[in-house]
Amino acid sequence: MKKSSQTIIHITPKQKTAFFSVREIWKFRSLLRQMIKRNINSRITNSPLTLVWGFIRPAIMTLAFFYIRRMANADMGQEIPYSLFIFSGLCVWFLFSETTANVAHSLKTDAGLSNKVYFPKILSPIAVLLGRWIDITFIVAAIIAFQMVLSIPIGIEALLIVVIMVMLLLLAFGFGILFSGLFLLHQDFRKIFETIIYLGLFLSPVIFSKEILPPIIQKYYSINPMVGILTGMRGVLFGPEEVDYFSLGVSFVFTVVLIVVGVKTISWALHNFEDQL
């Protein structure tokens, strides 16, 4: 700290540090820690039940879907009790959609800060992402608790849920920053974003298993990155379900590509439409 006479900041028209720079993130790790804390603290202070809502809302919706399926007497193709199937699906889906939305809006949320003080802008979405660990803990605990109630066997591979959840966060990150870049470009992307998130609930195997789809669709279904994550989640937790490693692999590749595209988009958008923030 005292060798300040040797430190130099050089300001030029070109953004010297990239949007995604591990060095910058590391330098600002102390701020990142505070931002994660702020994220969690402010959510909890704002609504003390916020963590419980992560599984209460899916639970309520589970009741609705359970009832509808009963009435229709439909086959959703699942191996485990439908209530657990749909509850776990909805929990993970809402976790994903909320995280994605928060990541997408994080730059705008922190614009009040980034317009006054310099810090790597990528900290905002990262803080949102890492602030979710506590939600994930609650949600996974709720799913496992429900599983126990229904006496569904659980194995050692349940620990792999950590990997699945990391993938979910990374996917939310890629998707979120891609759209936060697009938001800077044009406000209408907000509507498109909302629509995709809404449709995704029905296009992903949240309330049905992919087994009920026609074979031709099943073949390409894994392109939807949530397929790998949802089937993976059920596979590692619930004994009777299988992990679809192919879909999981596709999800992984998809996520990596999405993050690269997202970082490129947001960097470009920030450089050209910075004043939109």
Partner 1 sequence: MSMQETITDNVASPENVLEHIVLDVRKLSKKYRMTANLAAETRQKNNTSKKESRDFWALRDITFQVRAGERVGIMGHNGAGKSTLLKILSRVVLPTSGEATIIGRPTSLLEVGTGFNQILTGRQNVYINASLFGLTRNEIDERMDAIVEFSEIGRFIDEPVRTYSTGMRSRLGFSVAAHLDPDILMLDEVLSVGDASFQQKCLTRMNDLTGHGRTLLFVSHSTGAVRKFCDRCIWLSHGEVIMDGDVQEVCDAYESQMHGVTATFQAKRKTTKIAPITMNDNNSSADKSQGVLGELADGQVAEIVSAQVLDVNDQPAASIKINQPCSIEFIFDVLKPNLRVEPALHFKNEKGEILFVVAFTDVEYTDAINEVGRYKTIISIPKNLLNEGLHFVTLCLVTADPLTRHHILENAVSFSIYEVIGDTVNVARGRYARTLPGGLRPRLEWKTQKSNA
Q: Which stretch binds partner 1 (CB under 8 A): 22-30, 166-174, 212-220, 222-230?
A: 22-30
Instruction: Pick one of 116, 151, 159, 214: the residue that binds partner 1 (CB under 8 A).
Output: 116
Selected from 21, 42, 195, 218, the binder of partner 1 by CB under 8 A is 42
Q: In the numeric block, which tokens belong to residue 98? A: 């909320």
Checking phi first, is residue 81 left (phi over 0); if not, alpha (psi -120 to 50) or beta?
beta
Both structure tokens of 183: 């938001």
Residue bearing tokens 């910058």:
24
Give the residue carrying structure tokens 């591990």.
Answer: 22
Q: Does 119 bind partner 1 (CB under 8 A)?
A: yes
Q: Which span (29-37, 91-99, 151-159, 219-227) binds partner 1, by CB under 8 A?
A: 29-37
Taking the C-alpha atoms of residue 217 and residue 209, their distance in angstroms, rounded to an integer, is: 13
Q: Which residues contact 181 (CB under 8 A, 6 or more apart)?
A: 262, 265, 266, 267, 268, 269, 270
Number of residues that bind partner 1 (CB under 8 A): 38
How is residue 122 written in tokens? 């990528």
Asked if 22 touches partner 1 (CB under 8 A), the answer is: no
**Stretch of 52-60, 110-118, 202-210, 241-249 contacting partner 1, by CB under 8 A:** 110-118
Please choose, from the candidates 224, 180, 185, 182, the residue with its C-alpha nearest in 3D space to the C-alpha of residue 206. 224
What is the nearest approach in angstroms of partner 1 to the Cβ of residue 13?
5
- Which one among 18, 21, 37, 253 touches partner 1, defined by CB under 8 A? 37
Residues that bind partner 1 (CB under 8 A): 1, 4-15, 27-28, 30-31, 33-35, 37-38, 41-42, 45-46, 110, 112-119, 271, 274-275
